[in-house]
Amino acid sequence: MYAQIIDDERGVTLCEASSRNKDLRDRIKNGGNIDAAKIVGATLAERAKAANIERVCFDRSGFKFHGRIKGLADAAREGGLSF
């Protein structure tokens, strides 16, 4: 599970979070479940706040909004990101 915040105009990744990040691997037992998605979403929100990013456009790349996608989005919103 991974998520990125990208500046589309410049084509630059501003921040990212992934279940494969070394600092998150210890907290994640299985990288492909809802619990992992929530940790990734919360971490992305933390990193976005550190980069002074408050509002984003959520692109789920055609995936349905349930399960892991919903878990990631809900955790990011709880962390302070506005979609």
Report all structural domains of the chain as residue ranges with CATH numbers, in order of start.
2-78 (3.30.420.100)
Predicted confidence (pLDDT) at residue 66 exceeds the cutoff of 90: yes
Q: What is the reported pLDDT for 54?
A: 95
Q: What is the reported pLDDT for 63?
A: 87
Q: What is the mean pLDDT of the chain?
A: 94
DSSP state of 80: T
Predicted confidence (pLDDT) at residue 25 exceeds the cutoff of 90: no
**Distance (Å, whole) CA 83 – CA 21:** 24
Q: What is the reported pLDDT for 2?
A: 92
Predicted confidence (pLDDT) at residue 79 exceeds the cutoff of 90: yes
DSSP state of 46: H
Predicted confidence (pLDDT) at residue 60 exceeds the cutoff of 90: no
Closest CA to 3 of 21, 19, 23, 17: 17
